[in-house]
A and B are shown apart, each in its own frame.
Chain A
Amino acid sequence: MNRLSPTQWLGLAALAALAIALPFAFDPRGYGIRILCLALLFAAMAQAWNIVAGLANQISLGHAAFFGIGAYTSTLLLIHFGVSPWLGMVAAAVLGGIAALLISLPTMRLRGHYFALATLAFGEVMRVIGNSWGGLTGGPVGISVPFSQPNFVLLQFRETRSYYWLMLAALILVTLVFIAIKRSRLGYRLRAIKENADAAEVIGVDTTRTKIIAAVISGALTASLGTLYAQFQFFFDPDTVFGVASVSVRMAMIAIVGGIGTAAGPVLGAFFVIPLEEVANQVFSAQAAGLSQLVFGVLLILVILVEPRGFMAIGPRIKRLLGKGDR
């Protein structure tokens, strides 16, 4: 299926070269490169969400739970035991996967709105725990990653562009996982579940197991991205990393804006939404709190009303319009 043509390979290689070289066009510690980093990170997060939501249509509103677990796991391991965040990331992935398994068990029979509600509540449970268990998490005031000399082992770098390459690698990795799943038996099974779960079961798809496997992969990836976020920001609190609007809805929205269920969608979405939000923040925050969030919400509504399949559907749509014009 869809083997790439030589021209497509060439295009992809050019894109990769461009992506790797891009930071040289920016101030290595400047604001612009920070936004690029966040865009890459959120693209990767949206891609992880896409595995469950895009392929199986299990719309999660609680992925912040895994993200926050990842951020706290590596940070607490570093603070209390001096564990390298690289290892912390592995621990984060394991805990994120376990959390995904635990929430999947009671919710796997749920679909549609019910699944969205249950996952929303799960994210909120984690936020409440994060805020109330001050002894572990530092509570609502937040927690800082101990600052050290730039050090590869401690996943801390002098220049922001080093984080850029790190985030780029993460995005590529998560995207490759997504593509591999999409083309594998798991991907076919997930799509069968999305389209008709009963029919899928009857022709031999273990729908429960399939959904759990996808959820665990998605949760583990999201948690490891939480570690990257912690190392990048150096400071975070429960309301940020476990937030519904700041994480769960945002990663979903990015995937939707770009094109849910497609590999390129989350990337397109992130490079549209994150810079736009930053610009809105820059322009409006001086005038009124809430305005940039308002823009975010309006944008979400517009995308849903105009083209719920996102940017990826616009290309074919234009082609079809042009094609019709020819005849």
Chain B
Amino acid sequence: MAVVQAILDGLMIGGVYAVISIGLTLVFGVMGIVNFAQAEFLMLGMFVAYYAWAWLGLDPLLAAPLAFVVVFLLGAAMQRVLIRRVLKAPEVAQIFLTVGLLIVLENAALLMFGSSFRSVSTPYQTSSLQLGPLFVSVPYLAAFAMSVASGLALWIFLKSSWFGRAMRATAQDPMAARLMGINADRMHMLAFALGVGLTAFGGAVILPYLTASPTVGAQFVVLMFTVVVLGGLGSVAGAVVGGLAVGIIQSLSTLVFPIQLQNLVLFVVFIGVLAFRPKGLLGAAR
């Protein structure tokens, strides 16, 4: 039964992993850039939600759309000022631009918010539902539900809106997209903003059960990369599968390994997948 419980917990957190990683995979899919700073936008989302709670008394789940909007705008600006300049640059420039961004965001947060850990208190924080012999923690469930909702919203956006289709066209064939009158530059901006906004949204919904701090992103960097690499870098559907898989792997590994070694299991999975299935377990690039 412990195993079933662990799988259930894994699914719940995995749903969140999926959403925060969709942002990363979207940026790569459309622009061909791995954003090493992606996890910092999760941290920013957490802080937006934290201050919305502290100052406005807003529940983090309700503040999640706000986190999305704020970070969306920030992302659009960053794409315009920074990322756009390295899209055609050598990979080393692309890699170290986002690595630099990671360092800047983390330390700017340290300066602005201080190094202390911040958490919110919500009425449902410690409650859980019982399903026969199984328990579902309410904050996990809420975060999972919000993630599913945002994932669905993104899916509908990509499938049925003009912007969504234009963005996918840009990802598949930039040349053809341009011939069809799609402004690639604008699509890149939209993709980057949407990508980091979605990750921030994920950051906000996990605030009820995780503490925010400027360095919280570091816990998620390799995790997010594992998710997208498992699913195939650039594939949105893959990120969902990868997210659930990582959630379950992580949750199951707690049954076997001490807590510090949990990440180790992930790293090994990560390097293994990169080495043997670099296009993801599903094998579909994009």
Instruction: Find chain B residues with CB under 8 A from A113 CB.
Output: 28, 33-34, 91, 94-95, 233
Contacts known (A106-B274, A245-B103, A297-B101); A304 close to B93, Cβ less than 8 A: yes
Q: State A245–B86 Cα separation when bound (angstroms).
A: 21
CB <8 Å contact, B115 and A297: no
CB <8 Å contact, A128 and B99: no
Q: State A297–B1 Cα separation when bound (angstroms).
A: 48
Instruction: Find chain B residues with CB under 8 A from A125 CB.
Output: 264, 267-268, 271
Q: Which of A53, A110, A132, A260 contacts B258 (CB 8 A)?
A: A132
B55 within 8 A of A: no
Q: State A131–B264 Cα separation when bound (angstroms).
A: 11
Q: Which size class do A's interface residues fall under?
A: 35 or more
CB <8 Å contact, B100 and A301: yes
Q: Which of A57, A120, A132, A301 contacts B82 (CB 8 A)?
A: A301
Chain A at the B interface: mostly helix, strand, loop or mixed?
A: helix
Cβ of B24 to closest chain A Cβ, rounded Å? 11
CB <8 Å contact, B260 and A132: yes
Instruction: Find chain B residues with CB under 8 A from A304 CB.
Output: 86, 89, 93, 96-97, 100
CB <8 Å contact, A118 and B275: yes
Q: State A308–B100 Cα separation when bound (angstroms).
A: 13
CB <8 Å contact, B99 and A132: no
Instruction: Find chain B residues with CB under 8 A from A290 CB.
Output: 106-108, 110-111, 115, 214
Instruction: Find chain B residues with CB under 8 A from A129 CB.
Output: 264
CB <8 Å contact, A300 and B96: yes
Q: Which of A59, A128, A245 contacts B267 (CB 8 A)?
A: A128
Bitwise, A112-137 to B at CB < 8 A (1) or not (0) is: 11101110111011001101100000
Cβ of B6 to closest chain A Cβ, rounded Å? 21
Q: State A121–B273 Cα separation when bound (angstroms).
A: 12
CB <8 Å contact, A308 and B85: no
A215 within 8 A of B: no
CB <8 Å contact, B96 and A252: yes
Q: State A121–B270 Cα separation when bound (angstroms).
A: 8
A-B contact sample (20 more), CB < 8 A, given A106-B272, A294-B103? A53-B92, A57-B91, A59-B92, A107-B275, A109-B275, A110-B278, A116-B95, A117-B274, A118-B271, A120-B221, A125-B267, A132-B260, A252-B96, A256-B96, A291-B111, A293-B106, A304-B89, A304-B93, A304-B96, A308-B90
Give the interface of B toward A (CB within 8 A): 28, 33-34, 36, 82, 85-86, 89-97, 99-104, 106-108, 110-111, 115, 214, 221-222, 225, 229, 233, 258, 260-261, 263-264, 267-268, 270-272, 274-276, 278
